[in-house]
Amino acid sequence: MQKIGRYQIIRKLGKGGMGAIYKAIIPIINKVVAVKLLDPFESMEIVLGQETLKEIFLSEATTMAAIKHPAVVDVWDFDEDDLGRPFFVMEYFSHNLGEMIGEDFHLENRSRIIRPDKVLYYGRQLLAGLACLHHNGVIHRDIKPQNLLITDDDQLKICDFGMALSATTAFSNPTNINIGSPFYAAPEQVKAPDQVDGRADLYSAAVLLYRMLTGLLPGMAQFSLSAVSPLYDQNWDIFFSKALHFNPDLRFQEADAMLNGLDNLEVHWPQDGRNDNKQTPVTPKTSPPVHLRKKPINIWGGKARSFMGLNDKSQPLTYMANCLEACGDAVVCDRATDLCWQQSGSKYPLTHRGAQHYIDQLNRERLGGFEGWRLPTVDELLSLLNDIMYQPMDPLFDSSKMRLWSADLHGRRDAWHVDMAMAYAGWQDVFSRNFIKAVCDNVPL
């Protein structure tokens, strides 16, 4: 399939029970969008029928289009393709929180543990978005990591309203299918999905926050955060005890109240901010530099993790010890690797092709008086990564630009990147946008 309506397809992003999502381009202006097409599994069509499916699909598009909030995905168009199948067009974002925390179809598996300040950052945006939805009479009923998109500038967007209840639509949800996702759905939603209110979404949000902090689902291992980490005090335990209560009457009653509770939580960082997993810093005068892979590769599948020294969560098996120092106003030198790094990085996120143009510009300008600037390999980017929990990247660098392109490829249309804030290596299609932190080999004596 090359087109859906007038939209030119780049690639298929995924498929669920109701429909398929495509990355597409608006002709002439070449703007990238996401297109959701009604393309249900045969089993769904047998159970619900084509007319009911169309009704659900239209309800989803109508509900999303009625909401205007920074934390909710916008709908821009609605139409039918040449086969009479409805589709709607949304703004496109290349990241979702599920991919970023490493959650897969086996929900029982551990996910990546995320820094608490990052969890609070996303949690505030999620609860602000839910407050807007609930104010407009919309209950999402399927809050989970995969339904939370992350923009290029690190803003959270709620998507996938296929299971939403809305006071503004006449659609009545079918009673013969499950609503919500296992482990994330509130207990009362499992029993009576059409009778829930906003407190069900707040329960799902609490499950998500707990998972990001611990790597586990609360139903798998119920333990207090203060008992396992000095970063958290008993206020965190009180917050989750209330947010995850099985009785909705004993939970936070509104998203704004839960947001206020979240804002009152404090992370107790160690005073020295040291990273216990970091090796003893190298002294260049007595230790030879570590030679990292400089040549880009094209690698994918399971062998990529082994080749790049990653664990099953695509995070480093070991952390390297840097010996960093500022070399002028724009460059940071690492004596442990004989590499020189751009201190700030690109001002804006760029496509992978745009990244190479940016590198060419740095070389024309001879940034910091250095030559030979290039995109780093995954190995080189990972050398800058500290333990995720305390300090992902040295304060010499710009901490606002943490999702970085590498020179390594992943097949024909994808390239590897490293998310310094989430501490993992992943891949995206080359039309996605990430920041650039250039590297060169010319370290002065």
Count CA atoms within 13 Å of residue 420 on its CB side: 27
Residues 308, 425: contact at Cβ < 8 Å?
yes
d(CA 360, CA 371): 11
Amino acid at 391: Q
Give CA 81 to chain center in angstroms.
Answer: 31
- Measure the CA angle with vertex 385, ends 380 and 390; round to 5°: 175
Judge residue 255's burial from the number of C-beta atoms within 10 Å of its C-beta, 0-12 exposed, 13-18 middle, 19 or more buried.
Answer: buried
Query: Annotated catalytic sites, by residue?
Result: 142
Rg (C-alpha) for the chain, rounded Å, is 23
Is the distance from CB of 292 to CB of 339 less than 8 angstroms?
A: yes
Phi, psi of 357 (to 5 degrees): -60, -40
Q: Which of 336, 333, 327, 321 is nearest to 286 (CA)?
A: 336
From the list 158, 138, 163, the residue with the least C-alpha distance to 16 is 163
Instruction: Identify the bridge partners of residue 434 per DSSP, sorted by sequence position.
Output: 350
**Separation between Cα atoms, residue 97 and residue 422, nearest integer Å:** 10
Long-range CB contacts (< 8 A, 24+ apart) of 242-251? Answer: 243/202, 243/203, 243/205, 243/206, 243/209, 244/203, 244/206, 244/207, 244/210, 244/218, 246/187, 248/186, 248/188, 248/197, 248/199, 248/200, 248/203, 251/199, 251/202, 251/203
User: Residue 133: how many CA atoms within 13 Å on its side-chain side?
Assistant: 32
